Amino acid sequence: MPLRLSHTQLLRYAGLFTWAVVGIPLVFNTLYFPVGEVDEALGPPDMVGSTIAYFVFGVAYWLVTRELGQRRPRWYDILLLGALTVSAIAVSKLTHTGLGSILLMLVSGVIPWLMPLSVGVAWLVLQHVALVPVFERMGGFTPMAAVLQAALYIGYSSFTFITGLVAKQQAQAREDQRRLNSELRATRALLAESSRMSERLRISRELHDLLGHHLTALSLNLEVAGHLTEGKAQDHVKQSHTLAKLLLTDVREAVSEMREERGIDLGVALRTLVEGVPALEVILNIPDRLQLEDPERAQVMLRCAQEIITNAVRHAGANHLWLRVELEPGMIHLNARDDGRGGEHPKPGNGLSGMRERLAAYGGRADIITAPGQGFALNICLPLEISP
């Protein structure tokens, strides 16, 4: 079976391979730093320090790319990015070469995954500006030549930066596709439940209106026939009358059972919805049997859950989302909470406004609870009965 790697895994292993190749000159340093060619002004390369910086870069790169694209960037990811940049510059400074510039190309491929585009471009430029003094100290580089050399490496690093940016956009497109696919499957499950309920109701009506009436008429005719016949014929008619009444009783019981089981299993749709949500762990807490009699109210609750998940993925920057559904007589509650960035005075967008309008049409409401750094919570209440 061929090994299948994602875009992020390919980028990671390609970067680690490049890092390993850059380490070859440090292992066979005599090929690159002959003793007789050491610049007296610069002194010999610090092989111990450069080796330490080189391995610090490798460890930081391994850690920062371990779950690249699978979760939201955290504060220590930015620290690791800073460690990558500093250690790469240190390799160039301590070896008096441009090896650190090659390592900065690897850093440039990681930057788009960890910060916004504008900040990432600024980081890309500044990390190469820090190389200008390093190049200037090298023999044969004037200040202008050092600037041009750094600008040259900016051009190289821009390519890896764009490569990382495209890979991130493709990963986000796949995540959106997976999320939309989960929503589609949840909607399909809810429609299937609604169709099943409608079909059971239709069959129960047909049984009651057609078969029930015909059996009643048959029972009445057999009762009359029992009074008009004698002997063995009367015994058979009475037995047929008894069987007709038993069959009519069975039909009525079947119709009653089909009418009693009228609920739509909302739990199936919610479980389908949270399966495979990218970059977000959804903890779902719902009753084992979550049935609603009104298909429209079930649809409203499903749409609210979809909007909550979408907001947690796109806007909240959350890694976890807790969804709890409680069913009580005449009311259903949906409580949601994430561990995202939160906000002081959140302004409802089109999604939350549409959710509130949809709930208001059925007498429900949505209360928002949030604060900076404390995540986002949403409490939804929806009556299950039509208000007078």
According to the model, what pLDDT value does residue 174 have? Answer: 77
Q: Do 360 and 230 fall into the same domain?
A: no
In a domain, 195, yes or no: no
Taking the CA atoms of the chain, what radius of gyration do you get in angstroms? 35
According to the model, what pLDDT value does residue 83 have? Answer: 92
According to the model, what pLDDT value does residue 30 have? Answer: 44
Whether the per-residue pLDDT at 66 is higher than 70: the answer is yes
In a domain, 181, yes or no: no
In a domain, 191, yes or no: no
According to the model, what pLDDT value does residue 61 have? Answer: 92
> Please, what's the largest Cα pairwise distance for the chain?
134
Distance CA(359)–CA(223), nearest Å, equals: 56
Q: Which two three-digit tokens encode residue 231?
A: 């002997």
Q: Is 44 exposed, middle or buried (0-12, 13-18, 19+ CB in 10 A)?
A: exposed
CATH number for the domain spanning 355: value is 3.30.565.10
Interstrand relation of 331-338 and 264-265 (parallel, antiparallel or unpaired): unpaired
* Average per-residue pLDDT for the chain: 78
Closest CA to 290 of 269, 304, 308: 269
Per-residue pLDDT tens for 209-257? 666 666 677 677 767 777 677 777 776 667 776 776 677 676 666 656 6
Q: What is the mean pLDDT of residues 43-60?
A: 83
* pLDDT-derived band at 41, boundaries 50, 70, 90: low
Distance CA(75)–CA(94), nearest Å, equals: 29
Per-residue pLDDT tens for 175-191? 777 777 777 777 777 67
* pLDDT-derived band at 123, boundaries 50, 70, 90: very high
The last residue of a domain, from among 225, 260, 295: 260
Q: Do 13 and 161 fall into the same domain?
A: yes
Q: Do 110 and 234 fall into the same domain?
A: no
Which residue type is seen at 177? Q
Q: Do 75 and 135 fall into the same domain?
A: yes
Is residue 15 helix, strand or coil? helix
Q: Do 284 and 367 fall into the same domain?
A: yes
Q: What is the mean pLDDT of residues 191-203?
A: 68
Reported pTM? 0.62
Q: Do 232 and 333 fall into the same domain?
A: no
According to the model, what pLDDT value does residue 388 have? Answer: 41
The last residue of a domain, from among 233, 260, 287: 260
The last residue of a domain, from among 260, 280, 305: 260
Per-residue pLDDT tens for 281-294? 888 888 877 777 77
Q: Do 313 and 346 fall into the same domain?
A: yes
In a domain, 183, yes or no: no
According to the model, what pLDDT value does residue 85 have? Answer: 93
Q: Do 168 and 214 fall into the same domain?
A: no
Whether the per-residue pLDDT at 24 is higher than 60: the answer is yes
Structural domain of 209: 202-260
According to the model, what pLDDT value does residue 139 have? Answer: 61
Q: Do 270 and 243 fall into the same domain?
A: no
Distance CA(383)–CA(330), nearest Å, equals: 6
Distance CA(155)–CA(179), nearest Å, equals: 36
Whether the per-residue pLDDT at 63 is higher than 50: the answer is yes
Residues 6+ apart with CB under 8 A from 330: 383, 384, 385
Q: Do 11 and 86 fall into the same domain?
A: yes
Q: Is 338 exposed, middle or buried (0-12, 13-18, 19+ CB in 10 A)?
A: buried
According to the model, what pLDDT value does residue 263 have? Answer: 62
* pLDDT-derived band at 124, boundaries 50, 70, 90: very high
Distance CA(179)–CA(221), nearest Å, equals: 62
In a domain, 40, yes or no: yes
Residue 194 near residue 264 (C-beta atoms within 8 A): yes
DSSP letter at 206 equals H
Q: Which two three-digit tokens encode residue 216?
A: 């009643």
Whether the per-residue pLDDT at 360 is higher than 90: the answer is no
Per-residue pLDDT tens for 341-354? 776 666 666 777 88
In a domain, 117, yes or no: yes
Q: Do 239 and 315 fall into the same domain?
A: no
According to the model, what pLDDT value does residue 2 have? Answer: 45
* pLDDT-derived band at 260, boundaries 50, 70, 90: low
According to the model, what pLDDT value does residue 37 have? Answer: 47
Pairs from 253-260 (Cβ < 8 Å, separation ≥ 24):
254/204, 254/207, 255/204, 255/207, 255/208, 255/212, 258/200, 258/201, 258/203, 258/204, 258/207, 259/201, 259/204
In a domain, 190, yes or no: no
Whether the per-residue pLDDT at 107 is higher than 80: the answer is yes
According to the model, what pLDDT value does residue 35 have? Answer: 44
Q: Scanning the structure block, which residue is given the tokens 């610049």?
A: 39
Q: Quote the number of domains for the chain.
A: 3
Of 259 and 154, the structure prediction assigns the larger pLDDT to 154
Q: Do 167 and 25 fall into the same domain?
A: yes
The order of strands in the sheet holding 320-328 is: 281-285, 320-328, 331-338, 376-383, 365-370
In a domain, 272, yes or no: yes
